[in-house]
Amino acid sequence: MALVVAFVAVLAPSARCQLQQIQAVVDGITSPQHAAEINAVLAAQPDVVMSRTDMHTKNLLIHAMPECTLDAVAINTLIQPLGASVRCFQRERLVPGHFKHLDPQACGSSPTPNR
């Protein structure tokens, strides 16, 4: 007689829902390679799960754990040596499928306070 044991691992919805979505407009990107450099710096930060910097839309998207301490000031400190800066910073709970690009023309020229 064979004993079959099935184990099913399911990622708890609460674990996925706890992720934070960080968005900002990035100024100073000069090429796709430059965007990749900026992205590499941000993706290497503690508690960052995913980072994407897009040259064409000037948008930054980061998925991070709630413990992640990145805010507009911290991001600017990290990417300023690369000649870039962020503005229109937003941070909120990640809602899958609820992504909208930030419009670089519609947001202010100075960084938005961390929310």
Q: Tell me the pLDDT of the chain averaged across its residues.
A: 84
pLDDT at 100: 87
Whichever domain contains 18, its CATH number is: 3.30.70.100
pLDDT tens-digit readout, 19-70? 999 999 999 999 999 999 999 999 999 999 999 999 999 999 999 999 999 9
* Beta carbons of 102 and 23 less than 8 angstroms apart: yes
In a domain, 114, yes or no: no
Confidence (pLDDT) at 9: 37
In a domain, 3, yes or no: no
Average pLDDT over residues 66-94: 96
Partnered with residue 62 across adjacent β-strands are 22, 51
Q: Evaluate whether residue 61 is within a structural domain.
A: yes
Instruction: Spell out the residues 6+ positions from residue 111 whose beta carbon is closer than 8 angstroms to its own.
Output: 24, 72, 73, 76, 85, 86, 87, 88, 89
Contact (Cβ atoms closer than 8 angstroms) between residue 29 and residue 53: yes
Structurally, the chain folds into a number of domains equal to: 1
Query: Structure tokens of 67?
Result: 């413990």
Residue 82 has pLDDT above 50, yes or no: yes
pTM of the model: 0.78
Decide: helix, strand or coil at residue 26: strand
Look at residue 109 in the predicted model and tell me its pLDDT.
Answer: 58
- Domain for residue 80, yes or no? yes
- Domain membership of residue 5 (yes or no) is no
CB distance 20 to 65 below 8 Å: yes
Q: Looking at the domain assignment, is residue 101 inside a domain?
A: no
pLDDT higher than 60, residue 4 = no
Residue 25 is part of which domain span? 14-93
